[in-house]
Structure 1
Amino acid sequence: MAGKTEYKNNWQKENVDRINLIVPKGQKDAIKAHAEARGESVNGFINRAVKEVMEKENGD
């Protein structure tokens, strides 16, 4: 029987893509503070920001 970690890793492999994001020194803390101030995780904030910009630029 697969353990919790193995199950999670397999689920992620099948359901999500990962992006390694590099930002200028100090920007990580600013992004985290901005996201937290709006009740979002950093991941949720970045995903929302990317989606909104793509929709705007694509005219959706």
Structure 2
Amino acid sequence: MPTARTKANRKYNEKAYDRVALTVPKGQKEVIKDFAEKNGLSLNSFINEAIQEKMSKKDAE
């Protein structure tokens, strides 16, 4: 059973964040996760940074 803190965190996350499902070829998730961790990032942080970098480059074109 979730604790009150867990419930509060879930409620906050639902209000503050959107979720995006990402599908990658089998085995690629671990490759990406390992790369991210070797660079001091979580998988989520790495993906977000990669998206922002790509969008910034496209805006500069």
Q: TM (normalized to structure 2)?
A: 0.89
Structure 2 CA distance for aligned equivalents of residues 28 and 9 of structure 1: 24
Structure 1: runs of 5+ lacking an equivalent: none
Structure 2 CA distance for aligned equivalents of residues 3 and 29 of structure 1: 32
Q: Give the total of aligned pairs.
A: 59
Q: TM (normalized to structure 1)?
A: 0.91
Runs of 4+ aligned structure 1 residues displaced above 3 Å come to none
Structure 2 CA distance for aligned equivalents of residues 20 and 54 of structure 1: 18
Alpha-carbon RMSD across the aligned residues, in angstroms, is 1.6
Aligned sequence identity (%): 41
Structure 2 CA distance for aligned equivalents of residues 10 and 33 of structure 1: 30
Structure 2: runs of 5+ lacking an equivalent: none
